[in-house]
Structure 1
Amino acid sequence: MAGFLLRCHSGPVEFQSLGPGRGLSTLVVREGADTLVVHGDRLTEEAPPVHAPLDELLSWTERSHARYCAVLVRGGQATLWSDVGATCPLHYARGADDTLLIATSAGAVLPLLAGPPVLGGAAQALLPGGRFAGVTAVPANSAVTLAVDAYGTVPVATRQVRGLPDRPVTTDPQEAVATVREALRSSVARLAGGSEELGVMLSGGVDSSAVAALTARESSGAELHTYTVGTPFGDEFEQAAWFAERLGSKHHELMFGPEQLTELLPDMIRSLETWDLLTLQIAAPACFQLTAMAADRRQVLLSGYGADLLFAGLGGTGGEEDIERAVVAQTAATARSNEFGPAFADARDIVVRYPYWTREVMAAALGIRGRLKVREGTAKWVLRSAAAEVLPAEVAWRPKRGIHEGTAMSRMFAAALGGDDPRLQSERLHAIATSVFCQDGPSARGTGTGTGNGTNEREGLDEGLAGVAS
């Protein structure tokens, strides 16, 4: 199912499906006065403990799903929670009649607000709470409790779903490598298990190659497909095909052109609910691949995206603490970016799973000191060392590639949007967003140059800008 919209008031909770889709599922359980709604990629058939304390429900959603968002309406309050990386966005707002609105899509809420939609600007996409005035996104790894019968949306309570390391402490290289190796193996095994056919986004770099190798090892004989996207301006076909042949996967090379990007952009903006230039550059190759893969059946795809963020793949300047702060900042910015939003894939009956963006891998990565992430000038040293167990040395230690050597999304967007000036590109993307989200023209805010949305140093300024990352 493509998602849901809830209307919460003094009577029974009203549920509305936002459309078909076989990538994710939506569970709705009504027992007495309690209503539980969970949207996500469910991995087990374990029944939810609907009447249990909230902590038990939080644990159930985590162990039963690869990614999820959830709502529990109980005792005049609604508690909304997200997974560790907000990979299934969840939004809330007050409608024109003060009904509490909760939805997996901010766009679904906009027509129910008191006034016309107010979008963030071309250069400053994020408003307080999200990209649309009056609509707030649930933060990653958070549970937000709201009063159902109220005038505003100030939370009654906010808490973490599960703890992650506040500061990294691991300095022993062997311990760090072993921890990362086991966390990644466990993550891939959990996400790849139970499928007869699996796909992996493959660039031939260490991140995606490690996922592909572990998927082949942990998936118990599933048919493995690998996919690589290239453009007229650059590709990684050779290195990806070389590794795919060694892996024994059924390999697919997909050529992506500016005309196809132009056609994709409105649907990307609608599905990802962002018009941020960098976010769309990162997402575009993956969205093109999803379009090319679409078939009349549910498909499961694993991605290596997220590793650069957690393991300092962009390198770093300054001292160790500067690297560590950058990792935390980039991870938080990406969780707010909607890059992991599932709607585009779900509409094509595909679910994308991110082994690096699970709690076990994130906890492992965030607990390791910066000296082991950038060591002797090598970015992602600890990950490369962990991956060397399953990868040829030339893959595990392959130098990072810049965007000019990969799929060159900056050149693709320049060709599709009619110029290489980022400000011009941002304005044109904002104009597309206006046409997508506003029927009668925007009530736009902050359309000046602004200072950006804090995402200019996220993963993607490297190895293909592909969202099919390394």
Structure 2
Amino acid sequence: MAPLSKWCVVSNTPLPDLAALSVHTGTGVLHVYHRGPEGADLPADPPFTLDVGTLLAEPAGAGDDLTASTVRVEPDAVVVRVSGLNENPVHYAVNRMRGLFAYFTDLFLAPLVLPALGLPVELTGTAVGHACGTLLRGVNRLPHSSVHRTRYDDGHWRTETGDLHDPLRDFREPHRTDPHAAGEAQLDALTAEIERIDRSTPAGTGYATLLSGGIDSGTVTYLAATSGLSVTPYSVGTPWGDELADAAELCAELGIGLEAVHLTEDDIIASIPEAVRWLGMTEPEVVEVALTATSVQRLGAVPAGRPLLTGYGSDLINAGLYRPFAHHHELVDQVLSAVDRTRRTNELSGRMPLAYGTGVHHPFWSWPVMRVALETAPECKVREGREKYHLRTAMGRRVSEPVAWRKKIAVHHGGGLQDGVTRRLEKETGSTDREPVYRACFAELLGRSARGELEPADPQDLFERALGRLRFR
């Protein structure tokens, strides 16, 4: 199935290039352009609130959830509330001289939005930073834990901003100090989250999990299966390594089959432009972390209509490299810094699943599970030379010792896949620096967006043209 990007734009000026691509609603002083999931129409008249993650209109009184970013449209104002996790970004551009602005949820709409504001479409000369949060001049990603209100008052537009409480500030002194108890508490929270997901899904739905040989996806698969969900695990093999045998070991214990997904080198390389498209980022590690999931989605490895549960996010909240001489507070800072960085990278956003119309859930990245993990002292997480010690201890009472305690060599992050991609791109460009390749993909995608081509078509051609930009610059 070909992807179709979903998004919303709110501006105080008409955006003619978006009219044919979306449903347009006007309030008199505001223009709303919306392309959401099929059948998800906005109310005819404001006020209404849109959930940024789902692009669905929220019922009255919704939107106070810590993890939900929202856009509220009123007759003479737009209010954007950015969540504490901020995995689904909202971007803002303004021409103060002309009094024109736009809020938009997809960075690659910029070539269709900025000209209407009287602004140029220009790439920055450096990698994305925390100041504006995007690779485009004049386009800012709104920061986490904030509220932005732009209101029409007496013939002028006025913007007020405010800060919300940053939830990460509450976890400088984690109080869970017993590894087994902390692990059990996290399993309880994960089970509750998986059951919540199942309650929101039509009865009889079959699920998929993305299963490696590690404890994270293994835990999600185990809890889903033992909670009564119909689960089919999928495990990915690449030319640079796989964990199929390790994944099959857990499946044998659970009495369920394993589906192997074999990705070729060309499959993975051809997924680079699409990973850049949905991330809106070109940071090499971020792009490469996304390549496995992007390939699985792009190639339709998991049947449509089967929601996917992943173990993504656990590395951030539960782990940390084993550092025998590290100070307690240094390890706490390491976890909080990892979470903070991830809420700026879009690697757990819902943009790609929305475009494909598929359900993807990251149970570890739900706030109840994160809270338990962040309340857990690092000495529980890293002990006796092993990371995720608390989670392994709890799972060790449910699965065999090899499944709970094996060391994981991930194919989706670092290790084999990252090295393999680096070697392939070195052959193509003569350099081990991948960032220019990913930036060239970004520029090629941006040029196509200006022509109204918002979804990556013919990824191999797109990749070759991106390489051409590097060769002839």
Give the TM-score normalised by structure 1. Answer: 0.79
User: What are the equivalent positions in structure 2 for 1:32-111 lying under 5 Å apart?
Assistant: 33-41=46-54, 48-50=58-60, 52=61, 57-59=62-64, 68-74=68-74, 76-94=76-94, 98-111=99-112
Contact 1:229/1:256 (8 A) holds in 2: yes
Counterpart CA distance in 2 for 1:232 and 1:434 is: 29
1:185 is matched with 191
SS of structure 2 residue aligned to 1:360: helix
Cα-to-partner distance string for 1:80-121 (whole Å, 9 max, x where unaligned): 234453232222222685433122201113432233323344
CA contact (8 A) 1:79 1:143 kept: no
Tell me which residue corresponds to 2:128: 125
Distance 2:327 2:63 in 1: 37
Partner Cα separation in structure 2 for residue 420 and residue 118 of structure 1: 24
Q: Using the TM superposition, give the Cα deviation of residue 297 of structure 1 relative to its aligned residue in structure 2, in angstroms.
A: 4.2
Count of residue correspondences: 420
| Residue 459 (structure 1) aligns with | none
* AA matched with 2:446: F
- CA contact under 8 A between 2:86 and 2:343: conserved in structure 1? yes
Give runs of aligned pairs for residues 358-437 of structure 1, distance below 5 A.
358-401=366-409, 407-416=416-425, 418=427, 424-437=433-446
- Pair 418,375 (structure 1): closer, same or farther in 2 beyond 3 Å: same
Closer/same/farther in 2, CA of residues 186 and 104 from structure 1, 3 Å limit: same
Note the C-alpha offset of 1:415.
1.0
How much has 1:229 moved relative to structure 2? Answer: 1.4
Distance in 2 of aligned mates of 1:250 and 1:356: 24
Question: Does 1 or 2 have the higher relative contact order (CA < 8 Å, sep 6+)?
Answer: 1
Q: String of CA shifts for 1:308-327, please: whole Å, max 9, x gaps.
A: 11112433462111111010
- Equivalences for residues 285-296 of structure 1 within 5 A: 285-293=292-300
Q: Following the alignment from structure 2 to structure 1, what is the Cα–Cα distance between the partners of residues 174 and 275?
A: 39
Q: Which stretch of structure 1 is more off in the superposition, 358-367 or 369-378?
A: 369-378
Instruction: Name the stretch that deviates more: 291-300 or 339-348.
Output: 291-300
Q: Partner letter of residue 101 of structure 1?
A: A
**Partner of residue 468, structure 1:** none
1:169–1:369 CA contact under 8 A, matched in 2: yes
- Indicate how the Cα distance of structure 1 residues 270 and 402 shifts in structure 2: closer, same or farther if over 3 A, else same: closer
The one-letter code of the counterpart of 1:115 is L
Q: Say if 2:269 is the partner of 1:262.
A: yes
CA distance in 1, matches of 2:264, 2:344: 28
**1:460 counterpart residue number:** none
- The alpha-carbon distance between structure 1 residues 203 and 84, as it changes in their structure 2 partners (threshold 3 A), is farther
- The answer to whether residue 359 in structure 2 is matched with residue 322 in structure 1 is no
User: What is the CA distance between 1:378 and its match in structure 2?
Assistant: 1.8
Structure 2: which amino acid aligns with 1:336? R
Instruction: Name the CA shift for 1:318/1:73 in 2 (closer, same or farther; >3 Å).
Output: same
RMSD of aligned alpha carbons: 3.3
* Alpha-carbon distance in 2 for matches of 1:407, 1:288: 16
What is the TM-score when the length of structure 2 is the normalising length? 0.78
Distance 1:374 1:121, change over 3 A: farther
- For the residue of structure 1 that corresponds to 2:207, the secondary structure is strand
Q: Deviations over 1:272-314 (max 9, x none)?
A: 1111111111000111111233688433111101111111243
Identity of aligned residues (%): 22
In our comparison, the structure showing a higher alpha carbon Rg is 2
Letter in 2 for 1:409: Q
Q: Which stretch shifts more, 299-308 or 289-298?
A: 289-298
2:247 corresponds to which of 230, 235, 240: 240
| SS of residue in 1 equivalent to 2:239 | coil
State the alpha-carbon separation in 1 of the partners of residues 301 and 81 from structure 2: 30
Q: What residue identity is the alignment partner of 2:392?
A: R
User: In 1, are the aligned partners of 2:220 and 2:363 still within 8 Å (CA)?
Assistant: yes
1:401 CA displacement: 2.5
Quote the residue 1:14 is aligned against.
31
The verdict on how the C-alpha distance between 1:199 and 1:164 changes in structure 2, with shifts beyond 3 A counting, is farther
Q: Of 359, 364, 379, which aligns to 1:351?
A: 359
